[in-house]
Structure 1
């Protein structure tokens, strides 16, 4: 008997996750599995019977990975119970499975073990292990404040401006505030937010919540501490803030200009409403997924520009997806250094370590490979054009949720690919790859250098 127990313990120890990233991957997978089971319960679906496994799995993955892509109409297909489950999955996914579990440990036990500290540090990307408790509590405070403020503004607008009852208006406010801060893009209207395209009291609070969530918690923490002292900001904060402003402005100008005279999108709106709609879509392309115009009717060049915005994404360690502004920013500065003939990559007066070069290049190459592979596969099994397929794949990988309306029409095999893209995009290619590695291999020797011809 003792030998059997010893064998079991040995097997468990040998096959248990060794790398923190592995635990995070398993945590997200477990949350998706639980959400799938809950959404398959007949009471979660409107009408007779329950949701199919693929419908439940796709919706649960989209919610946990805070994407927003759907294969069924959220307000009509799911009951109030199902919508609550989706909202809970969004909140858990946005906050981070390991962060959420560790925060519960802080609140209940008032202490964290070293293992929990390491796991949470990886998920929140905090710079040290000693401040994890304060980081988690700070994340909770920011989450509650932003979501509560957004819910109040939206609920008041739905109640006073559109005649919803107090309870329904409050529910609409809460659901869309959580969905916006977590950059999820789930909406309780069949046309998403197209019906509110010209309403600044709906579009602006959602946009602000999306932008705040997309900045990333390290940036928010630093702004809270040193808002009046920009010279104290770290490189990460400067890159995220400057990149966010640049992408928001350029995206707004480009989308508004291209769609200005398109009668199917902005052409029938008043000038101020067109600018609002252009800004809203520029902000949403940064991984939020709400839409106030129908992307099936936009110009192909708008789709391509939105692909680029989605692929870049928002700030690291936040609720946004994509490759992150910092990754693209590092590549831009590397390119500038090479073109200008510099020897070291300097960003805002600080030198960038070479390990950051390799990490940024690796992330981009892995992401491009995944997107191209998924796009080619979907082109083989569907009749949709390249622009729509690429838009769908980038939206899934960048955990955005914008769509031209083809998600439900993609065959089951294609929807499975989108599920994998959402999962990989939420966790990050490098994190996913490191989770699959059993152990790191120490370098015991180096090969001699040799330079190939470039270009």
Structure 2
């Protein structure tokens, strides 16, 4: 809110400052003012710091909670887990924090260097300005924040692979999660030693990236408002880029408001699924989505157990996945209903905005700034809930498990 943070006189209102701060620290990317024109260099620096602290904090928080839940708090199970996996030393919190910080800084440094070189050599930006642009967008990309220093995001670079591809790969890297990178670092040449979580995350991420890119490219190929205005190589690049961005990144190189309804619906599905656990991506997470699919597959086949990657998945894990998914649906539906009541926007636009906020994506059809104050407060709460809710809820469910000494007789209500 400080006058120093904005370019205009009088500073920024409380609601705008609150919305922007929440969007930054929750690494979402939704905005109610133009980042490139409203905020001063100091204000952009505040946003950058919030993005970095939010991304590091979420990855560290989620990794430590996952470690805590995984080891079950009991000494015997902690020793057993440590002996079986050899992934993280017993109680070595510092190694987790150090690993998260190093992983983040390495990916951000590589992306920043590539972008800075391109801005300086390809767009004649002074090296100091190019370095700043590279750093800002590298941090925003790896942390899946989606903040950009141009009014139309990355639309000016829609056909430039030297800008779009580093941003896209930084988004993918941040969305995989620290536990996956830790295992890949230790056992990169030994896939058989990868845990079920790593195998499931990599397989699901690859499948969703390919499916998303193919669908967006095919559905928007002839749309003159999006890919149809580009040459074939540009269409392929933009299609891939927009297949990656629903991993909860929030950048765009074409106008989402001009996309076809089918593309918007597919984007909403991809946003709701999100990325990997203990990463910078939001959503219900790819592992939750895969577990739900496996439950349906096992039930259709009549299998007694839900199995994947030569392992049986426990009933409690399945119930946690169902809980996260259904509560996520409830949060999006309830927020959509409230937004429809307080605004005059269409159902399609409001639903897209609600999913984007809950999944901490930041993609928008352009209605965020037009929502009333009450609607912006709803999105603010939804961003915070979507960022911390799934992590906290799953950890609470796992840690409060208690043994029971009896079981009630089984009942079978009629289903369907």
The answer to whether the superposition gives a TM-score over 0.5 is yes
**Among candidates 55, 63, 69, match of residue 24 of structure 2:** 63
- Distance in 1 between the 2:285 and 2:207 partners? 14
Query: 2:264 aligned with 1:321, yes or no?
Result: no
What secondary structure is seen at the aligned counterpart in 1 of 2:296?
Answer: helix
Query: 2:184 aligned with 1:223, yes or no?
Result: yes
Query: 2:100 aligned with 1:139, yes or no?
Result: yes
Partner of 1:30: none
Structure 2 vs 1, CA of residues 98 and 364 (structure 1 numbering), >3 Å: closer, same or farther? closer
Partner of 2:230: 269
Partner of 2:87: none
- Distance in 1 between the 2:389 and 2:68 partners? 13
Per-residue CA distance 1:298-346 (angstroms, 9 max, x = gap): 0011100000000010000010101100000001111100000000011
Partner of 1:179: 140
Query: 2:369 aligned with 1:369, yes or no?
Result: no
Q: How far off is 1:149 after superposition?
A: 0.6
Query: 2:82 aligned with 1:121, yes or no?
Result: no
Relative to the length of structure 2, the TM-score reads 0.91
Partner of 1:247: 208
**Among candidates 156, 181, 199, match of residue 238 of structure 1:** 199
Query: 2:159 aligned with 1:198, yes or no?
Result: yes
What secondary structure is seen at the aligned counterpart in 2 of 1:428?
Answer: helix
- Distance in 1 between the 2:402 and 2:294 partners? 30
2:298·2:304 contact (CA, 8 Å) conserved in 1?
Answer: yes
What secondary structure is seen at the aligned counterpart in 2 of 1:418?
Answer: helix
Per-residue CA distance 1:246-282 (angstroms, 9 max, x = gap): 1111111100011101111011111011010011011
Per-residue CA distance 1:406-428 (angstroms, 9 max, x = gap): 00001111111101110010012
Structure 2 vs 1, CA of residues 53 and 166 (structure 1 numbering), >3 Å: closer, same or farther? same
Partner of 1:333: 294
What secondary structure is seen at the aligned counterpart in 2 of 1:425?
Answer: helix
Q: How far off is 1:447 after superposition?
A: 3.8
Q: How far off is 1:444 after superposition?
A: 7.0
- 1:76-155 map, 5 Å: 76-96=37-57, 99=60, 121-122=64-65, 127-128=70-71, 130-155=91-116
Q: How far off is 1:403 after superposition?
A: 0.1
Query: 2:298 aligned with 1:355, yes or no?
Result: no
Q: How far off is 1:131 after superposition?
A: 3.2
2:245·2:251 contact (CA, 8 Å) conserved in 1?
Answer: yes
- 1:343-422 map, 5 Å: 343-422=304-383
Q: How far off is 1:97 after superposition?
A: 6.1
Q: How far off is 1:431 after superposition?
A: 1.6
Structure 2 vs 1, CA of residues 50 and 123 (structure 1 numbering), >3 Å: closer, same or farther? farther
1:125·1:317 contact (CA, 8 Å) conserved in 2?
Answer: no
**Among candidates 51, 60, 68, match of residue 12 of structure 2:** 51
1:243·1:325 contact (CA, 8 Å) conserved in 2?
Answer: yes
- Distance in 2 between the 1:142 and 1:409 partners? 38
- Distance in 2 between the 1:441 and 1:145 partners? 41
1:121·1:127 contact (CA, 8 Å) conserved in 2?
Answer: no
- Distance in 1 between the 2:279 and 2:10 partners? 37
Query: 2:303 aligned with 1:342, yes or no?
Result: yes
Partner of 1:114: none
Q: How far off is 1:442 after superposition?
A: 7.6
Partner of 2:76: none
Structure 2 vs 1, CA of residues 199 and 97 (structure 1 numbering), >3 Å: closer, same or farther? closer
Partner of 1:260: 221
- Distance in 2 between the 1:348 and 1:372 partners? 34
Q: How far off is 1:227 after superposition?
A: 1.1
Q: How far off is 1:443 after superposition?
A: 5.3
Q: How far off is 1:449 after superposition?
A: 2.6
Per-residue CA distance 1:371-390 (angstroms, 9 max, x = gap): 00001111112221111111
1:99·1:124 contact (CA, 8 Å) conserved in 2?
Answer: no
Q: How far off is 1:433 after superposition?
A: 8.6
**Among candidates 393, 412, 415, match of residue 451 of structure 1:** 412
2:342·2:372 contact (CA, 8 Å) conserved in 1?
Answer: yes
Q: How far off is 1:432 after superposition?
A: 5.1
Relative to the length of structure 1, the TM-score reads 0.84
Partner of 1:188: 149
Structure 2 vs 1, CA of residues 126 and 76 (structure 1 numbering), >3 Å: closer, same or farther? farther
- Distance in 2 between the 1:367 and 1:47 partners? 38
Partner of 1:292: 253
Partner of 2:78: none
